[in-house]
Amino acid sequence: MLRCSAIIVTYNSGASIGPCLEALVNEDCEVVIVDNASHDETVQRVEEFVAWHPVHLVANPENLGFAAAVNQGARESAGDVLLLLNPDAIAEPGAVKALLQCLEATGAVAVGGALLEDDGQPARGFAFRRLPTLISLLYEAMLVNRLWPHNPANRRYRCLDADYSQQQEVEQPAGACLAITRAAWESVGGFDEQFFPVWFEDVDLCRRLLEHGGKIVYCPAARFRHSGGHSVGQLPFRDQQLLWYGNMLRYARKHFSSAGVATLRVGIVAGMLLRSLAALFGARQAPLGKTLSAYWAVMRSAL
């Protein structure tokens, strides 16, 4: 049986890390926690758990970002398989074993589990997706997906028509629950730490795995309850916008042509103008001044 190392990156995850760790107690898996300078009770919660269970804690004095912290955890671990797990992903009994069995049976280099909503159903459109194309990113940036969510490009990108009850080859499982063989991880050099502090590092990793001839599989028998977004939700609205679109462009610069990158820049600017107009009529997630400031900052960055 493959040896598993679960790598969990925390950032102000005090409310969620306890249930995550408790769920791993009966799973035959080494656990490595890398804390990115939390200023809540996260480290205290982990230290209380460590007193009774063998968990390796690495407490960083500053936030290195998700990608760098996972790379750090991989270096600190000893397993044949690295299970990248968000602190708000809670394994159901036997979930880790199911992932390892899926890896061995399929010959895949990476597998993703079923991330479950509150109603117990898989997170459709999130548990796995296809790799983004220029069109899918343009539709996202320019509000097409918001206004017409079931358009053909979005249905294809988010795999909205997939049967989530079936094991199948996929392109990009969510990084919230991704098991990858150490050999494959090391062959592509792990996460690209330029995707800071979060977003698109898992997409980039899966693309590189596929380009190296690897196979990635979705394993519905491995079930994880997932609340989602607890860390990024702590970021100010302006930072969320700048980081999301900044890392989108970073991904495009790595994998698209120069013409494609230029087109995406124009699409982002157009999308920010549309969002600014919508904000003036009340469609906003933050006060008007902060919303407009965030959108203009993204436009300046994109240009």
> How do residues 220-261 score in pLDDT, each as one tens digit?
999 999 987 667 778 899 999 999 999 999 999 999 999 999
Tell me the CATH number at 72. 3.90.550.10
Could you report the per-residue pLDDT of 271-298, keeping only the tens digit for each? 999 999 999 998 888 999 999 999 999 9
State the Cα angle at 38 between 52 and 291, rounded to 5°.
145
CB 124 within 8 A of CB 160: yes
Q: Are residues 54 and 156 in the same domain?
A: no
The predicted pLDDT at position 228 comes to 75
Widest pairwise Cα distance in the chain: 58
Tell me which residue range forms the domain holding 260. 133-160+235-303
The predicted pLDDT at position 283 comes to 86
Q: Tell me which H or E stretch contains 65.
A: none
Could you report the per-residue pLDDT of 175-218, keeping only the tens digit for each? 999 999 999 999 999 999 999 999 999 999 999 999 999 999 99
- Tally of domains in the chain: 2
The predicted pLDDT at position 36 comes to 97
Give the C-alpha separation, 169 to 174, whole Å.
14
Give the C-alpha separation, 113 to 127, whole Å.
8
Q: Are residues 247 and 178 in the same domain?
A: no
Give the C-alpha separation, 34 to 261, whole Å.
34
Q: Are residues 73 and 187 in the same domain?
A: yes
At position 262, the amino acid (one-letter code) is A
The predicted pLDDT at position 233 comes to 75
CB 32 within 8 A of CB 77: yes
20-36 residues labelled b (16+ CB within 10 A) or e (exposed): bbebbeebebbbbbbbb
Residue 81 has pLDDT above 80, yes or no: yes
Token pair for 131: 């790799």
Q: Are residues 253 and 190 in the same domain?
A: no
What average pLDDT does range 131-158 have in this prediction? Answer: 97
Could you report the per-residue pLDDT of 88-126, keeping only the tens digit for each? 999 999 999 999 999 999 999 999 999 999 888 999 999
The predicted pLDDT at position 109 comes to 98
What average pLDDT does range 148-174 have in this prediction? Answer: 97
Instruction: Give the 3-state secondary structure of residue 239.
Output: helix
Q: Are residues 168 and 156 in the same domain?
A: no
Give the C-alpha separation, 238 to 236, whole Å.
5
The predicted pLDDT at position 26 comes to 87
Q: Among the residues of the chain, which ranges form H helices?
A: 17-24, 42-50, 66-76, 95-106, 134-141, 144-147, 152-157, 182-188, 201-211, 237-255, 258-280, 288-302
CB 88 within 8 A of CB 227: yes
State phi, psi for 89 to the nearest 5 degrees. Answer: -105, 120
Using omega within 30 degrees of 0 as the cis cutoff, is the peptide bond preceding 87 cis? no
What average pLDDT does range 8-14 have in this prediction? Answer: 96
Using the 3D structure, point to which of 232, 252, 273 is the last residue of a domain: 232
Residue 1 has pLDDT above 80, yes or no: no
Q: Are residues 140 and 66 in the same domain?
A: no
Q: pTM (2 decimals)?
A: 0.96
Could you report the per-residue pLDDT of 14-58, keeping only the tens digit for each? 999 999 999 999 898 999 999 999 999 999 999 999 988 999 999
CB 1 within 8 A of CB 25: no
